[in-house]
Amino acid sequence: MLFFDHTFFKSTGGEVVRHILELLTASVTGALIYGGIEVAERGYSHISMGLMGAFAMAVIHELNAERRAGKIHLFYALLISAFFITASELLAGEILNRRLEMGIWNYHNMRFNYDGQICLRYSLAWLLLSFFGFAADDLMCRYIFRRNKRPES
């Protein structure tokens, strides 16, 4: 494990390094967990989904820091997270599925879809998964990054 409580991180430059390591840890965690969820549900995944999970978890980590600082309520942070993931899915889908014709996913047969790339069902799923992402981030902050302060909701 990385030693996030080392004295090196107490300097200004060290805080920057610490923040980068936290983002990297959150991103890798998001990539692995989301890839695992995809494999469990569909039986396979694509590397682009791991990258999407990494970006989503990095955003969740930053939103959760704002929440812990009392700058944003959990409900609004969850909405922002779900919106970000849905917007990212649309952008990735338009590029990867439509433009490059990779056919990674297709929601055309789902109700309330837009261009077969996003749909209401999965946007709501991103809201729920964001909640678990926030919980995982709280655990990382407490046990991996060694922040002793309990998160407030």
The predicted-structure confidence for 41-84, as pLDDT tens digits, reads as follows 899 999 999 999 999 999 999 999 999 999 999 999 999 999 99
Could you list the residue range(s) of the whole structural domain that residue 121 is in?
9-144
The predicted-structure confidence for 10-52, as pLDDT tens digits, reads as follows 556 678 888 999 999 999 999 999 999 999 989 999 999 999 9
* 4 located within any domain: no
Angstrom CA distances, 103 to 56, 111, 120, 122, 148, stand at 21, 19, 20, 17, 45
> How many whole angstroms separate alpha carbon 82 and alpha carbon 131?
9
Predicted structure pTM score: 0.85
Report the pLDDT value the prediction gives residue 11, as an integer from 0 to 100: 54
Given the DSSP bridges, would you call strands 113-114 and 118-119 parallel, antiparallel or unpaired?
antiparallel
Residue 140 near residue 29, CB atoms below 8 Å: yes
Quote the number of domains for the chain.
1
* 128 located within any domain: yes
Residue 113: helix, strand or coil by DSSP? strand
